[in-house]
A and B are shown apart, each in its own frame.
Chain A
Amino acid sequence: MQLSEALKVIKEGPFAGRPPLRVLVACGFHPLHLQTFLHAHLQGRVLRRVVPSVGLYGDLLGTLRQLPTRDLDLCAVAIEWPDLDPRLGFRQLGWDGRQLGDVVKTVESALGALREILARAPEYTPLALSLPTLPLPPLLPAPSQRASETELCLRRSVDEFALWSAGRPGIRVVHPEYLARVSPPAERFDFKSELLAGLPYTLAHADALASVMADLLVPPAAKKGLITDLDDTLWKGLAGEVGAQGLCWDLAGHAQVHGLYQQLLRGLAEQGVLIGIASKNDAGVVEEVFQREDILLPRQSVFPVEVHWGPKSGSVTSILKAWNIGAESVVFVDDSAMELAEVKASHPDVECVLFPASDYAGAQALLYRLRDLFAKESVSEEDRLRLESLRAGDAFRRDAAAAGDSFESFMRDAQGELTLDCASAGANPRSLDLVNKTNQFNLNGTRFTTEEWHTALRCPGAFAMTAAYRDKYGPLGVIAVVKGRTRNGEVTVDTWVMSCRAFGRRIEHQCLRSLFDQFGAEEIRLNFMPTLRNQYLKDFLAGFQRAELSGPLRVSRAAFEEKCPPLYHRVEISHD
């Protein structure tokens, strides 16, 4: 991004209707360009007005000491060598080779002070941390080609600080190797600008670092599912021509990239990414391949498998339906540009990616790209359960459809168990995760930053509840979140989301009944707002009132009980 583009992006705001995003840019140098680029990159990502603030020039520690008392949504910290010891900069005269031992001690001491300060930083405020990106001055006696003991000591101290920081909740450390890819070290330092204006970064480096920090502070939504082709993609060769034993995915067959791809998909499946197959192929041969002992992507990690001779766009349609997720959350990988184009024409929101089997550099880039598209900070229990719960949901829906007139006995026999957690719901990271990614059953579409979520839960009378579900078909994990408040006996629900995997089990009814029971309420106010995608919830709520539903509504216990179908779940509730 050029500086003029950044200024244009900033100028395009403000964005009405949402509170501004408050961001602190903490650095010891003049923050001008880093702040401008970060402002623009964040505003482009969150589509909210961004209000950046900075501390006193040259006083990084002083700025960071204010963290616990400032109302912030995000914080970006860029540390350079002079922040750890001014003698490691170019703006202070007085280099003295005899002081190197003292410089090492001063750097360690400054990093110790930073640890103490960051340990007290609010853990719900995401903080992006960049450690020295610019060269050390030619203060050390060793030639530039040689890594001297002193320099390695300095770098070890910084690495130890980075390790400590990466383990702190809320702190996200900029990866130096990634930064080097997008901002080559030799092109980062603007010597003239540093000396004349106190701006050490070239514009390109300020832009690159700001972009990386914005990614860390507001990560792009991770994709949820990957649909892969088989021949010359998951393996080398055409299954229908060479048979199951003729295919290869190893070094001996010059097919290692396919083995690495299988391995990557297995890893993604283990972290909860849905893997499906869309292949024009002989289904029998494909099943034979998955029986081979050396296959790296196990058959049970894949669901569903669409293998036939019809168009792949049709396979993708079936898979999206089985997964019940939006096309924008899905990546389709195929070695044929024509097949990619055919799928793209029917599903424009699916990200279509070419598998470059004969282009090694392209294949290497693909592996990293796929990892990044599905990257997540941690793998939750729900992630591990996702495939199992999808299969369970599929079996549930099949049996429910087959039950026909005996649907009530089917529901009764499903042995549904609902666990409502009112004790730790707010602190459970799954709650915010679900709130921020659910669309179809979402009361009003409101998304929260971590800080906003916890601030809302600290309000007087605030409550939160999660619902976890399982039945005889298997567990679904935590699938619903309710957040609201009580005041003078009135119960208001501000946030209510439920995973689409849980639809059709009357869990929404059970949640609402539980709220009536827990609070002894005769009426509940639901802050509903229609969105482009919450028709399912709108239809559910419309059943409790006669008027057209276009905004917040009140549901009385009497109206609810009159319309509520029989509920067969066994319910367990945990309270504070």
Chain B
Amino acid sequence: MTETSRRLAQCFALVFPGLSEPEVYSASVNSVASWDSTAAIMLANVIEEEFKVQIDYELLPEMVSFELILDYLTSKANGSS
């Protein structure tokens, strides 16, 4: 587990407090009932705060799972987007 993955999991736990740790790492729009458009914005803002990045809101519809968001953050950290 990478440091980015651990910090992202903390963000998920704050926005979706009902998820267990394993559920966080496999979370997606399909598996988390409370993951609606409002929760997506909240999640994006918490991630922005935690990682000091600006998330492009237009990409939000594509960021539909823990894994995809982790990929997005990793690519941001590596300088590509």
Contact = CB atoms under 8 A, between A and B. Distances in A.
Interface of A: 2-4, 7-8, 11, 30, 32-33, 36, 192-193, 196-197, 199, 203
A197 B57 contact: yes
Interface stretch (B21-29, B38-46, B65-73): B38-46
A33 B57 contact: no
B64 interface: no
Contacts of B15: 7
A30 B15 CA distance: 17
Contacts of B57: 192-193, 196-197
B77 interface: no
Contact of B46 (A3, A30, A192, A199): A3
Contacts of A197: 41, 57
Nearest to B45: A3
A3 B49 CA distance: 8
Nearest to A30: B38
B45 A33 contact: yes
A199 B41 contact: yes
Contacts of B14: 4, 7-8, 11
28 contacts: A2-B49, A3-B45, A3-B46, A3-B49, A4-B10, A4-B11, A4-B14, A4-B49, A4-B50, A7-B14, A7-B15, A7-B17, A7-B42, A11-B14, A11-B17, A30-B38, A32-B41, A32-B42, A33-B45, A36-B42, A192-B57, A193-B57, A196-B57, A197-B41, A197-B57, A199-B41, A203-B45, A203-B49
Q: Is the interface of B mostly helix, strand, loop or mixed?
A: helix
Q: Is the interface of A mostly helix, strand, loop or mixed?
A: helix
A2 B49 CA distance: 8
A444 to B, nearest CB: 33
B12 to A, nearest CB: 11
Question: What's the interface size class on B, roughly?
Answer: 10 to 19
- In this complex, the member of A2, A7, A11, A203 whose beta carbon has the largest number of chain B beta carbons within 10 angstroms is A7
Interface of B: 10-11, 14-15, 17, 38, 41-42, 45-46, 49-50, 57-58
Given A11-B17, A192-B57, A197-B57, A4 B41 contact: no
Given A11-B17, A199-B41, 12 more contacts: A2-B49, A4-B10, A4-B46, A4-B50, A7-B14, A7-B15, A11-B14, A30-B38, A33-B45, A197-B41, A197-B57, A203-B45
A36 B43 CA distance: 13
**For the complex of A and B, 10 pairs with smallest distance between CB atoms:** A7-B14, A196-B57, A4-B46, A11-B17, A2-B49, A3-B45, A197-B41, A3-B46, A3-B49, A4-B14
A203 to B, nearest CB: 6
Contacts of A193: 57
Given A192-B57, A193-B57, A196-B57, A7 B46 contact: yes
A533 B30 CA distance: 53
Contacts of A8: 14
